[in-house]
């Protein structure tokens, strides 16, 4: 099992990591909107493609 110090370190590390990620994302939000404009469409098409592969797999069984 983990010691009390290791658990405290893990919790503090996770909290600080999430805070740093949020700050850096907010700092770069203008760049994300400019350079990744069509990425949501790509994600949706990719998920649709994966779902269709699963549908084909279960229909041909």
Q: What is the pLDDT of residues 2-58, one digit of tens each?
A: 899 999 999 999 999 999 999 999 999 888 888 888 899 999 999 999 999 999 999
How far is residue 3's CA from residue 47's CA, in Å, rounded to a whole number? 42
Residue 10 burial by CB count (10 A; 0-12/13-18/19+): exposed, middle or buried? Answer: exposed
For the whole model, what pTM was predicted?
Answer: 0.55
DSSP state of 36: -
Structurally, the chain folds into a number of domains equal to: 1
Cβ-proximal residues to 10 (8 Å cutoff; 6+ apart), any chain: 2
What domain range is 12 assigned to? 4-59
């Amino acid at each position: 099992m983990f010691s009390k110090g290791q658990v405290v370190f893990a919790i503090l590390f996770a909290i600080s990591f999430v805070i740093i990620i949020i700050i850096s994302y907010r700092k770069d939000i203008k760049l994300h909107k400019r350079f990744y404009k069509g990425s949501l469409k790509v994600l949706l098409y990719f998920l649709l493609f994966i779902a269709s592969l699963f549908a084909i797999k279960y229909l041909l069984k």
